[in-house]
Structure 1
Amino acid sequence: MHAPSPSSTPYDGDRTVLQDLTRRHRDTLVRALRAIRSREHWTPYAEDPDAYGEDAAALGEQAFRDLLDAPFPLETPGRDGTVGPAPAEGGERSPYGFELGITYPHADPAALFRAARAALPGWRDVCPRDRAVVCAEFLARINARSHEFAQVAMHTSGHNFLMAFHAGAVHAQDRGLEAVAVALREQARLPARRRWDKPYGDRTLSVDKTFTVVPRGVSLLIGNRVVPTWSGYPGLFASLATGNAVVVKPHPEAVLPLALTVAIAREVLGACGFDPNLVCLAPERPGELLARELAISPEVGVIDYSGGTEFGAWLARNAPGARLFAATSAVNSLLVESTAHYRGLLDNTAFSLALYSGQLCTSTQNLLIPRDGISTDEGHKSFPQVVADLTATLEKLLVDDARAAELLGALYNREMAVRAAEASSGALGKVALASRAVRHPGFPSALIRTPAVVELDARSEADHALLTSEWPGPIAFVAAVDSAAAGIALIREAVRRRGGLSVGGHTRSPEVARELEIMCAQEGVLLSLNLTGDFYVSQSSVYSDLHGSAAGGPGSHTFCDAAFVAPRFHMAEVRRWATDPVR
């Protein structure tokens, strides 16, 4: 992939608009830069749905409903047909039980790349600050439609409303702004110009040097279905803020979140005097394998991918010319060695297991407990007693269907319901708690299941294999281990085999805590110790937490550090005598 060279005539977009955006968003960008440095809590986007106005929820739901059963309003270069509306034609079906009926423009990939390439010069040649304020405006307009994005996330990914509002809307926006701030910081590490004076005998050598950010060119974003905005915005905004164009290839069953994003991006770019084809949508027809075709194009300099391990490995093998940022699947574990707050442990763990039916990449799958039991503030608890108390807490949490539906959300993949039924049949091991169907009061056709809890013994070869394999969805394994050390070794093995994004530990032992810390540091996994109350192992706080790791396992990057942003551009240098009249 050959990066474009800087043009001799900068294109500044609409200077009046850019100056206005600079005034509007300067403080937000300054504050974001401070947050990524200090790692403190901060967000410019209100997390409370009620903060957006009395009518915002109703207006957002109506905006979503207005998109259904109609062509999606989007201009696409090289259009050669449509995708959808029926699932058999590439259309989407809500996990809550109805077809969206939306058609999207399909485009010839070669035409998309030509258009993106042609759009690059004007965007590439403005300063990083101008790109940052345009991205900030883009995010501000998305934020104003947060309730609409929440509805979209519900009916493509199956989130409950509050999770949809957070993961599908405001926290995704935070992820985008975090990437913009890191990009702005990284592009400012060298000055744009420098007069270089070096004493040389009785005279001085004076050389003028310029340092210019040169983007890779065209980026490809390959979206997933679980959190297409939360996992997609870091790459989208990191690429845009560093001067690249982006072709967005959404998951075929979750097109709408990224289609809406692309539409807003094109609107903002056009209003700022840039070519809207800097951001293009590339939905695929059934069986087209479009992601593969796009990824191996020599036009692509960067690929952002989140999804299954198998395709992530395929991309690494077959798209060597592009810089790949991959986030793939994981097996997450919680070691319970001892606790000073037994009831808090049970409540926190039960909530974590139920949240979004275990479908998050950070959801806990394995609970590892010493077979001799644990010490607690309520005295010694045997292994069977901990299992019984946990399942009773989980049952109580989900006893009411309406409450359960709001916590569990809907299953976006019917195979997960099949696996939960398999686990509940005893096929995988002793059933500690069977999964049951939940009826949503507003969406009776929604596919919702409570978690199945299966009791295993880590000494068993078959059980050991289950614990080191991935079982996404409403299935949790509670396994007896010989000791805390054996549990830590099992977690390490699972991480090395399948990756890990979130490890939890409950212990009153400084030695056990330290061994967990050392193992997680070596393997590149976020560790959460002794969490109770309203903070959970599956959470990742933007601007503060490090999500993912380049250490290996389920990905090749961290949201959102310098290594995630800096490879999207390089610095070009020009040197000339200070007296050279040619400028």
Structure 2
Amino acid sequence: MSKAQVFYEAHQGTLEQAVAANRSREFWSPYPEAASGRIYGETANVDGRACFDGYLGTHFELAVPAVAQQVGEEESPYGLALDIRYDRPDTEALIARMQAAMPAWRDAGPEARAGVCLEILDRLNKRSFEMAYAVMHTTGQGFMMAFQAGGPHAQDRGLEAVARAFSEMQQVPHRASWVKPQGKHPALAMEKTFRVVPKGISLVVACATFPTWNTYPGLFASLVTGNPVIVKPHPGAMLPVAISVQIAQQVLTEAGYDPCLVSMVPDSKAQPITKELAQHSAVRLIDFTGSSAFGNWLEQNCPQAEVFTEKSGVNTIIIDSVQSMKAVARNLTFTLSLYSGQMCTTPQAIYIPRDGIETADGRLSFDEVAEALAGGIAKFTDNTEVAVNVLGAIQSTDTQARIDDCANLGEVALASRALEHPEFPHARIRTPMLLKVDASDIDTYGEERFGPITFLIATDSTAHSLELARKVISEKGAITLGVYSTSEAVLDQVDALALDVKVALSCNLTGGVFVNQSAAFSDFHATGGNPAANASLTDGAFVSRRFVVVQSRRDVPPPAEA
């Protein structure tokens, strides 16, 4: 039995449960999200931190066919010096190596490939604390979020893609005996074989804010369907990708395959390489998370490849009426504070009728709603020791500058403040900013302003809010839409809007679920139906476009007459 088959049998139960969860869409996860020593081992946290510290100031070792140069310019948003160097492979040498390794990986078959992918995910899970520190100090996420989103939740998304792709491949039978009756004449008979054949080399372009969560779906969907994978990390967040690739290479080697089937090609801001890679004739699959400008460029300029993009959008909340404004403000406080709004799902536009809303305690004016939201955030962020762990740090200095630049775009309902982290005095910590604007200022709130920047938009009515939301989402896209209303008629109208503009909808969230959270095996992340994304994590189209089916037919001659 091959090592890959051993891996498959070891993890087959997990795969079967993942396939079932993808169908039922009920809660399930094999990877515990609690950063608990009881679950991961009493020394897991200390060991993970030691591994992270061991990378600092060193050269990171990966299998590379030929080195073109060394790069490394990561800076921790918390002010910690990283100074890690990475090899950038020679592009042509790497592609030639991958093409040579591809037939063996293709011929391994779905079970062997799934076994390798499942073993990679299992080893990633065991190193979740190490990954948490790597994610924290490259993205700026708070430690608990870095552990969950960078570790178990990202692993969930990778497993979800493996399970979905495995199911799609299982729909293709390996053999069929085809017999067509011909009446009085001998039947026509053929033996047919069907092979799942990968498209070619896959390029996964990782983002700076979620280098594992947004990367694993494309990486594992391509790998399990037989495609070699190049991961191109953001120059500011390379370490989490490097650790992931290193683990993948170790498992591939143990299974008897070329480790370079999964490779990292880092670059620098001064010498970017993504366009060169994306337009290479051997690259047939591209996964991208990032700005609309570059996502649109990829879609328009890489005709040789299937391109899957998640881009920017204007995520939206519509407030019509509420039972408890206090409960709504509490939920939105956490929503807008989590990772300082540096999530592709964080609301930016909140539409509120200018003459106010109804609550169980009476009518509130537009300004009173704004005050409730601002007060909730201010109270939460006044507790610095708690707030910094939720806010995290600002990943990019460009985002930090954007906060200040946007302060004059409306009436400031809540100013953004710099907070000092008790452990990292040089960390870039900023609190959310709320700006009051009029519905007529659509050029202001109708563009994505990435970061902790939210517009409170005064509209003529809820109907007007719906009209504006329809226009902005149709033109600019959105991944999330939320609504607060005590009216079933309004909820029905927003539901119809969500179907029309093809965006995920959340209604009346006041508890421990937040509009910017997305659960693997249940939530389809993005729809692929509006300008914010042309693909969804993880539906059938996301995986089935990564392979083709090649058939072979052999004639079976009729039996010889006696």
Same fold (TM over 0.5): yes
Match for residue 42 of structure 2 among 54, 57, 66: 54
1:445 aligns with 2:433: no
- Aligned AA (1:200): Q
Q: For 1:399, which of 365, 382, 389 is the aligned residue? A: 382
Question: TM-score w.r.t. structure 2 length?
Answer: 0.97
Moved more, 440-449 or 484-493: 484-493
Offset from partner CA, 1:63-100 (integer Å, 9 cap, x none): 1110110000212112122112xxxxxx1000001231
Given that 2:503 and 2:530 are in contact with CA atoms closer than 8 Å, whether structure 1 keeps it comes out as no
Q: Does residue 495 of the first structure (1) align with residue 473 of the second (2)? A: yes
Does the 8 Å CA contact 1:423/1:452 hold for their aligned counterparts? no
Map of 1:113-512 to 2, 5 A cutoff? 113-202=95-184, 203-424=186-407, 427-459=408-440, 463-512=441-490
Matches within 5 A, 1:1-20: 15-20=1-6
Residue 11 of structure 1 is matched in structure 2 by none
Calculate the TM-score normalised by the size of structure 1: 0.94
What is the identity percentage for the equivalent residue pairs of Structure 1 and Structure 2? 42
Residue of structure 2 in register with 1:7 after alignment: none
Structure 1 residues 531 and 34: alpha-carbon distance in aligned structure 2, compared to 1, 3 A threshold: same
Q: Which residue in the other structure is 1:533 paired with?
A: 511
In the aligned structure 2, how far is the partner of 1:423 from the partner of 1:188? 51
* Contact kept in structure 2, 1:180 and 1:238, CA below 8 Å: yes
What is the aligned counterpart of 1:41 among 27, 38, 51?
Answer: 27
The Cα offsets for residues 481-530 of structure 1, whole Å up to 9 and x where unpaired, read as 11111111111222122210001000011121111111111211100000
CA distance in 2, matches of 1:309, 1:580: 60
- How many Å separate the matches in 2 of 1:98 and 1:237? 31
Q: How many angstroms does 1:345 deviate by?
A: 0.7
Please report how far the alpha carbon of residue 381 of structure 1 lies from its aligned counterpart in structure 2 after TM superposition: 1.0
The secondary structure found in structure 1 opposite 2:409 is coil
State the AA in 2 paired with 1:269: L
Contact persistence 1:402–1:439 (CA under 8 A) = no
Shift of the alpha carbon at 1:237? 0.3
Q: Distance in 2 between matches of 1:239 and 1:98?
A: 34
Structure 1 runs of 4+ with >6 Å offset? none
* CA deviation map 1:360-416 (0-9, x unaligned): 000011111111111111111111111111111111111121111111000011222
Q: Which residue is 1:3 aligned to?
A: none
Q: Could you tell me how far apart the structure 2 residues matched to 1:286 and 1:396 are?
A: 38
CA–CA distance in structure 1, aligned partners of residues 495 and 463 of structure 2: 13
- By how many angstroms is 1:579 displaced? 5.4
Deviation at 1:580, TM superposition (A): 10
Looking at structure 2, the residues matched to 102 and 178 of structure 1 have their Cα atoms a distance apart, in angstroms, of 31
Tell me by how many angstroms 1:248 deviates. Answer: 1.1
Structure 2 stretches of 5 or more lacking a match?
none
What is the CA RMSD across the aligned residues, in angstroms?
Answer: 1.3
C-alpha separation between the residues in 1 aligned to 2:142 and 2:467? 35
Q: Any idea what the Cα deviations from partners look like across 1:435-456, whole Å, max 9, x if unmatched?
A: 1111111111000011111111
Structure 1 pair 73/580, CA: closer, same or farther in 2 (3 Å)? farther
Cα pair distance change 1:375/1:271, threshold 3 Å:
same
- Distance in 2, matches of 1:355 and 1:493, equals 27
Number of residue-to-residue matches in the alignment: 556
- State how far apart, in whole Å, the 2-side matches of 1:184 and 1:301 are: 20
The answer on whether the counterparts of 1:172 and 1:230 sit within 8 Å (CA) in structure 2 is yes
SS of structure 2 residue aligned to 1:446? coil
Separation (CA, whole Å) in 2 of partners of 1:179 and 1:217: 18
> Take 2:157 and 2:95, find their aligned partners in 1: how far apart are those partners?
26
SS of 1:231 mapped into structure 2 = coil
1:23 paired to 2:9: yes
Amino acid at match of 1:511: A
Contact 2:4 2:113 in 1 (8 A): no
1:552 Cα shift?
Answer: 2.6
SS of the residue 2:59 aligns to: coil
Which residue does 2:59 correspond to in 1?
A: 71
235-244 or 399-408, which deviates more? 399-408
Query: How far did 1:330 drift?
Result: 1.2
Deviation at 1:206, TM superposition (A): 2.2
| 1:483–1:215 distance in 2 versus 1, CA, 3 Å | same
Q: Deviations over 1:257-278 (max 9, x none)?
A: 1111111111000000111111
SS in 2 for 1:195: strand
